[in-house]
Structure 1
Amino acid sequence: MTKNKTAAIVLAAGLGTRMKSTLPKVMHPIAGRPMIRHLLDTLRRVEMDRIVVVVGPDQQEIADAVAPIPCVVQHERLGTGDAVKAAMSALKGFQGDVLVVFGDTPLIARETIFAMLERRRAAPRPAVVVLGFEPDDPGAYGRLVIDPEDGRLEAIVEAKDATAEQRDIGLCNSGLMAVDGAVLPQLLSRLSNSNAKGEYYLTDLVALAREDGFSCAWVEGEEQELIGVNTRVDLAMVETLAQDALRTRAMEGGATLLDPSTVWLCHDTKIGRDVTIGPSVFFGPGARVGDGVVIKGFCHIEGAHIAENATVGPFARLRPGAVLDEDSHVGNFVEIKNATVESGAKVNHLSYIGDARVGAGANVGAGTITCNYNGFTKARTDIGAGAFIGSNSALVAPVRIGAGALVGAGSTIGEDVPDDAIAVTRAAVKIVPGGAARYRERQRDLKARAGEETTSGTPAKGNGA
């Protein structure tokens, strides 16, 4: 693309009343982050010289989310033209092209923005370039009226104002524009709000530019990238499209998704080659998966790093701070939080490992938990290399289990265990020969007597067992 100074104005002041939410519309997440952040990431990859976000007077949450990008406040919300007017205060002295985009249209492609800017800079250097698209159902979209002889944009006609012939036009207005920054201030100064809503419409720039003798042009984008999020239904539709794109990227990068439509990815999920992911796996923010990893079905992974050739699941949960080294194993119904499972170590069944280290080659038996919280503070558990933790053990932190140590099943360990030692805490076993048979006989007799008393009308008595 020809290098030229470019600024972007992101319109994000809409209340989003149809979302029926206290959360500002552009803050609703897509693939684990606010939708406006997706758009801003795209603008950064276009290498914008300036970006300014227009917010409402009660939307500090948006300003905080986009910082350090500057924001301006549209105090009265008098339409898209008024919003762009508000943004111009942050672009004083700027010389270049101005791109106007919407914070609730998060899927716009970088290539589409490039196309708009290239068209703006190509002869005859139109003052305004509008992004159009051809939806399956043009419906209430404004139509782009094109001069059949030279292909230039003649007008944008709102559907309610269109003639029958104009309503047959399939090319519709997306609302996105690229405008020559040298003429934008004078065009904005002439916008009028003499309409039923009393608002300033950005679409009027086309007519004003043509009145001043400037040409206007258009480029076409894909319908899917131009979906604006106005309702929860729109939000779900955009989420689906974003997920499809992320899944495709993962598979094209060398991962196998056994049932792609059920795997949920985050915008920053990193997946290596020869990774196999089973059905119904969810990735939250901050997940990294190395080459050759196998993740079985129904796992939840967030803020975790999984090294090469590790195995996870099924039904495992890796929480933030979980680190699985190469060739480690975390199995079914195991939760790992802020803990490292070192190379070759195994935590295969029904265990909670939090604020801990499981040393290389160690084995943690089923039902083991690290008791890391005393109601006030967290403490760490350190399990040495090659240690063996018997099933149903409770390791009360802070505690260290030495390398090669063995903890007997059912033990509660509250003090350090030296290397290669055995630690067992278990009550003495009492065996009563023949006791089981006598117990059963006694219970049968009690049950029979209780039945006789109930039949005779005498209340049955409990036996105190």
Structure 2
Amino acid sequence: MPKVLVPVCGKSIIQHLLDSVVDSKIDPKPMIIVSPENQGLIRQSLKDYNVEYTVQEQQLGTGHAASCAVNNIKDECSKVLIFNGDHPFIKADTIKKLAANDSEITMLVAKSDNFSDWQKIFYHWGRIIRHGDQIRQIKEFKDSDEETKKINEVNPAMYAFDFDWLKDNIGKISTDNVQKEFYLTDLIGLAFEQKKNIDSILVAPEEAIGINSLEELEIAEKILKKTE
């Protein structure tokens, strides 16, 4: 079963996310990036949702997935919102805030004081590197030194991009990193070098949760039950 179809309190991870997108009433309809081997199950599971699909034939990283989407956007649009399908708790109001910002890039950020208790799940997330108040870079955990890993501001990987800027720059990122993948996060450093506006919206750790393991699934279910 694809990870995004794993149930959390009776509803799949991606359905939680899509319901928030629907509730936010943003246009146009969502586009879901799927792998060839998983697309059938995902399409069947989400048949009641008004969504489009793009197939990522090779899994070459988040930047490559975004590039696949950009190449398949046919409607006129000024902004593109990008979410990871394994983050079920993003709120409709947060999505509205992302969509309403006029900067070239707006991104969500979260903070964990000491990565203790259940917030230890954030320890392996990318770190937000700032120059004063301005976001300068996102450093993925596997590419970080010990000093960078002490930073407590992390990247939930949810963004709003100016579409024209994204189209012009998505092809400029490279695989010069530990994982040899195209990182979407490299666009942050590129925008900083171009002196573009990079805004951030702070969200609570509970809203930022992503699910990549059974432990994180258990944590997510406990948090959701507390909020219901």
2:4 & 2:147 partners in 1: Cα distance? 36
Matched, 1:142 2:126: yes
SS at match of 1:229: coil
Identity %: 28
SS at match of 1:183: helix
Matched, 1:64 2:40: no
2:177 aligns with one of 195, 201, 209: 195
Contact 1:94 1:181 in 2 (8 A): no
1:93 & 1:189 partners in 2: Cα distance? 20
The equivalent residue for 1:221 is 203
Matched, 1:133 2:113: no
* Structure 1 residue 139, shift from structure 2 partner: 2.7
SS at match of 2:158: strand
SS at match of 1:48: coil
Contact 1:55 1:63 in 2 (8 A): no
1:145 & 1:106 partners in 2: Cα distance? 25
**For residue 211 of structure 2, what is the amino acid of its counterpart?**
V
Contact 2:143 2:178 in 1 (8 A): no
**For residue 56 of structure 1, what is the amino acid of its counterpart?**
S
**For residue 66 of structure 1, what is the amino acid of its counterpart?**
L
Superposed, which structure 2 residues align to 1:2-41 within 5 Å? 23-41=1-19
Cα 1:166–1:196, aligned 2, differ >3 Å: closer, same or farther? closer
2:214 & 2:52 partners in 1: Cα distance? 28
Contact 1:99 1:177 in 2 (8 A): yes
TM-score by length of 1: 0.44
The equivalent residue for 1:111 is 93
Cα 1:30–1:164, aligned 2, differ >3 Å: closer, same or farther? closer
Contact 2:135 2:192 in 1 (8 A): no
SS at match of 2:71: helix
* Structure 1 residue 163, shift from structure 2 partner: 5.0
**For residue 34 of structure 1, what is the amino acid of its counterpart?**
S
Cα 1:105–1:212, aligned 2, differ >3 Å: closer, same or farther? same
The equivalent residue for 1:407 is none
Q: Which segments of structure 1 move beyond 4 Å, counting only runs of 4 or more?
A: none
Cα 1:163–1:193, aligned 2, differ >3 Å: closer, same or farther? closer
Superposed, which structure 2 residues align to 1:208-247 within 5 Å? 208-246=190-228
Greater Rg over alpha carbons, structure = 1
SS at match of 1:83: helix
* Structure 1 residue 74, shift from structure 2 partner: 0.7
**For residue 226 of structure 2, what is the amino acid of its counterpart?**
D
SS at match of 1:153: strand
Contact 1:105 1:228 in 2 (8 A): yes
Cα 1:222–1:185, aligned 2, differ >3 Å: closer, same or farther? same
* Structure 1 residue 154, shift from structure 2 partner: 1.3
2:146 & 2:177 partners in 1: Cα distance? 22
1:155 & 1:112 partners in 2: Cα distance? 22
**For residue 147 of structure 1, what is the amino acid of its counterpart?**
H
1:173 aligns with one of 155, 162, 176: 155
* Structure 1 residue 106, shift from structure 2 partner: 0.4
Residues 137-180 of structure 1: per-residue CA shift (max 9 Å, x gap): 153222212232xx221111233444555333221111111111
1:98 & 1:64 partners in 2: Cα distance? 25
Matched, 1:152 2:134: yes
The equivalent residue for 1:90 is 72
* Structure 1 residue 88, shift from structure 2 partner: 1.7
Aligned CA-pair RMSD:
1.8
Residues 38-82 of structure 1: per-residue CA shift (max 9 Å, x gap): 100100111121210011101111012223411111111111111
1:81 & 1:160 partners in 2: Cα distance? 16
Query: Which runs of no fewer than 5 residues in structure 2 stay unpaired?
Result: 116-121
SS at match of 1:90: coil
Bigger RCO of structures 1 and 2 (CA < 8 A, at least 6 apart):
2
Query: Which runs of no fewer than 5 residues in structure 1 stay unpaired?
Result: 1-22, 247-465
TM-score by length of 2: 0.87
Superposed, which structure 2 residues align to 1:290-369 within 5 Å? none
1:40 & 1:84 partners in 2: Cα distance? 18
